[in-house]
Copies of this chain bind each other. A is one copy, B any other.
Amino acid sequence: MSYSIAEAARRSGLSIDTLRYYERIKLLDPPARDTAGRRAYSDDDLGWLGFLTKLRTTGMPIKSMREYASLRRHGVASAGRRKALLVEQRRSVAERIAELQGCLDILDYKIENYAQVERNVLGVEPGREEISA
């Protein structure tokens, strides 16, 4: 199957402008064109865009995604380097998750504090609401 840029945008969750932008910066190989010169994205293109958006979600900078994309074009010989990039990204994602877990704990602690303040404010005689902080 092949898809218009509007359809590819819908399916990938990227904007039309972003699709053209990714092509310009060589994140995406130029897709086929129809007889009128309009882009016709293949299922492969969509698959690659799907993977790219995952990498983006992990916080990989475009620079690194470009490196990965460029390696992909160099075939099997580059597989080792590509794997290394993914392994490194995996590490950084795991680290990020741990970091966010820590933040979650702090947020829970703060939220619990506020909940306690609320209970106090509601529980004491009106006019003496000012407790600690």
- Indicate if A104 sits at the interface (CB-CB under 8 A): yes
Copies in the complex: 2
A58 adjacent to B89 (CB under 8 Å):
no
Using A108-B90, A110-B86 as known contacts, say yes or no to A54 and B103 having CB atoms under 8 A apart: yes
User: Which of A6-14, A29-37, A114-122 faces chain B?
Assistant: A114-122
Task: Select from chain B the residue with minimum beta-carbon distance to A117.
Answer: B79
Per DSSP, are chain A's interface residues mostly helix, strand or loop, or mixed?
helix
Near B by CB (< 8 A), chain A positions 71-121 give 76, 79-80, 82-83, 86-87, 89-90, 93-94, 96-97, 99-104, 106-108, 110-111, 114-115, 117-118, 121
Using A76-B130, A100-B97, A100-B100 as known contacts, say yes or no to A107 and B83 having CB atoms under 8 A apart: no
Task: Select from chain B the residue with minimum beta-carbon distance to A80.
Answer: B118
